[in-house]
Structure 1
Amino acid sequence: MRMTITHSTVYRYTAPLTYTIQQLRLTPRTEPYQRVLSWQIVSPGQRHAVRDAYCNDSHMMTLTGLHQEVRIVASGVVEVNPPDDGRIADPGHLSPLVFTVPTRLTEPDDAVAEFARRHLQPGAGTRQFLALAEALSGTVAYQSGATAVTTTAADALRLGQGVCQDHAHLFLACCHVLGMPARYVSGYIDSGDTPHAASHAWVDAWVEEPGFSGWVSIDVTHSRLADDSLCRLAVGRDYDSAAPIRGVRRGGGQESLEVNVDVTR
């Protein structure tokens, strides 16, 4: 399937800034089941292409001089084929053990640990990971605006509400309890008739199964294996390390943010 994607981000400020630096993870990954046919990023300032520690294609954008708005638009066409049984054939250049270490957002507390042990066993395979996804999405109801990008997995479980990034963080936290590798994925979804946003987050879980050893990609929010409705932007240990845009600024006063993502087949 070919996806046409437009991702617009606008930062506005109540006072002028003198300096902005942003890391842009806004270029879809090139992987066995995904091919970028055309892509461009339009932004102010200067951009320098880099590849981060997780092999995500990124840009460092710097903007100097007085400014009161930063507008970034990424757009293009990506061809996505459904991975067989959610399996990502490319194992990556890092040991999967890198993705067993909890972060601030995925640190399990006692409640998360108890939940994990009820729904996971050491050596879990694809079927059990899907059951975990179903249990998580059933326990933490999808509710736009209920949480923020700073909400931890433990907080989302206590609240019982969240969005796709909370589902992903909880899945990772459960895997960390048992020392099982799992990583965060950011990207886009053709959401069809659902009310969910076109930007999305899900997970890759490491499995050792007959005939396959590697990552299986799971859409936790929808309790299903990844298919050709998902376009992968970046992988990391959590939202912070896979976020489409992250950065710092000097000056600016109060900030407002407007994000629009459009995905069509």
Structure 2
Amino acid sequence: MKLSIRHQTVYRYAASQAYSIQQLHVTPRLEAQQSVLSWNLQAPGAVNAYTDAYGNRSHMLTLNEPHRTVAIVAEGVVQTTALYQGRLHNSEPLSPLVFTVPTRLTTPTDAVKDYAARHLGLARAGRADTTSMLTLAAAIRQSVTYTSGATSVHTSGHDAMLLGAGVCQDHAHLFLACCHALGVPARYVSGYIDPGSSGHAASHAWVDAWVIDSDFEGWISIDVTHARLMSHAYCRLAIGRDYDSAAPVRGSRRGAGDETMAVEVLIVPV
């Protein structure tokens, strides 16, 4: 499948800013199941490319002159291929145990541990199979209703569980927290999804989990929000321990006044 993707992020400030710095994860990863046919990144200031600790294709944007807007546009065409049962076959230097370490957003509180025990009762400590991971995703989808605006990027998986509402990043954080409760390696994924006939397109978040099946041991990719395995309709931008380490755009500024951020994403199969 070929996906034409355009992702625009615009920051607007009420007062002139002296300095801005943004970490960008808006270039698709180099992975076996996807290849970048063309890609272009447009942004003001100095943009320096690098590969981060998780193997993500990253850029650091710095703007060191007075400004009241920052516009970032990433666009191109990505070729994706179908995965068998959501299984990834990428060669990676990092041990999966790197992704057993909780973060502020994925801490397995006592309430999360109880939740994980109820929905992952058949999973043994430190290991799980594809079936149990999909069971957990379905439970989260049912107990945390997708509700735009109910949470923020600072909301933890625990808080979204108690609230009973959230968006894709909250589903992912709660899933990761449940996996951490059992010592199962799991990581956050940011990227895009072909919206199909829904008419909605946006950045998306899902998870990779380390499974041990009868015929496979390794990473599988699960869209918790839709309780299904990743298919060729997905484009992967970055992986990390949580939103903070894999967000498409994240940074800070030096200057007074309020700010607004507008994001527009267009994804079209070609």
CA contact (8 A) 2:47 2:61 kept: yes
Given candidates 193, 209, 222, the residue that maps to 2:197 is 193
2:146 aligned partner, one-letter code: Y
Q: Which moved further from structure 2: 114-123 or 137-146?
A: 114-123
Match of 1:204 in 2: 208
Q: Which moved further from structure 2: 194-203 or 227-236?
A: 194-203
1:149 aligned partner, one-letter code: V
Deviations 1:75-110 (A, max 9, x none): 000001111110000142111001001100001222
2:88 aligned partner, one-letter code: I
Q: Does 1:98 align with 2:98?
A: yes
1:81 aligned partner, one-letter code: T
Gaps of 5+ in 1: none
CA distance in 2 between counterparts of 1:16 and 1:66 reads 6
Aligned residues: 265
Match of 2:6 in 1: 6
Aligned residue runs from structure 1 range 88-237, under 5 A = 88-120=88-120, 121-122=123-124, 123-194=127-198, 197-237=201-241
CA distance in 1 between counterparts of 2:84 and 2:39 reads 26
How far apart are residue 4 of structure 1 and its match? 0.3
How far apart are residue 63 of structure 1 and its match? 0.6
Deviations 1:42-100 (A, max 9, x none): 00001111100100000111111110000000000000111111000014211100100
CA contact (8 A) 1:18 1:66 kept: yes
Percent identity reads 59
CA contact (8 A) 1:142 1:161 kept: yes
Deviations 1:160-202 (A, max 9, x none): 0000000000000000000000000000011223375421000
1:239 aligned partner, one-letter code: Y
How far apart are residue 252 of structure 1 and its match? 4.0
Match of 1:82 in 2: 82
Match of 1:18 in 2: 18
CA contact (8 A) 1:91 1:214 kept: no
Gaps of 5+ in 2: none
CA distance in 2 between counterparts of 1:156 and 1:197 reads 23
Match of 2:46 in 1: 46
Given candidates 238, 241, 246, the residue that maps to 2:242 is 238
2:26 aligned partner, one-letter code: L
CA distance in 2 between counterparts of 1:92 and 1:147 reads 33
Query: With structure 1 as the length reference, what TM-score do the two structures score?
Result: 0.98
RMSD of the alignment, in Å?
1.0
Query: With structure 2 as the length reference, what TM-score do the two structures score?
Result: 0.96
How far apart are residue 213 of structure 1 and its match? 1.7
How far apart are residue 229 of structure 1 and its match? 1.1
CA distance in 1 between counterparts of 2:65 and 2:98 reads 39
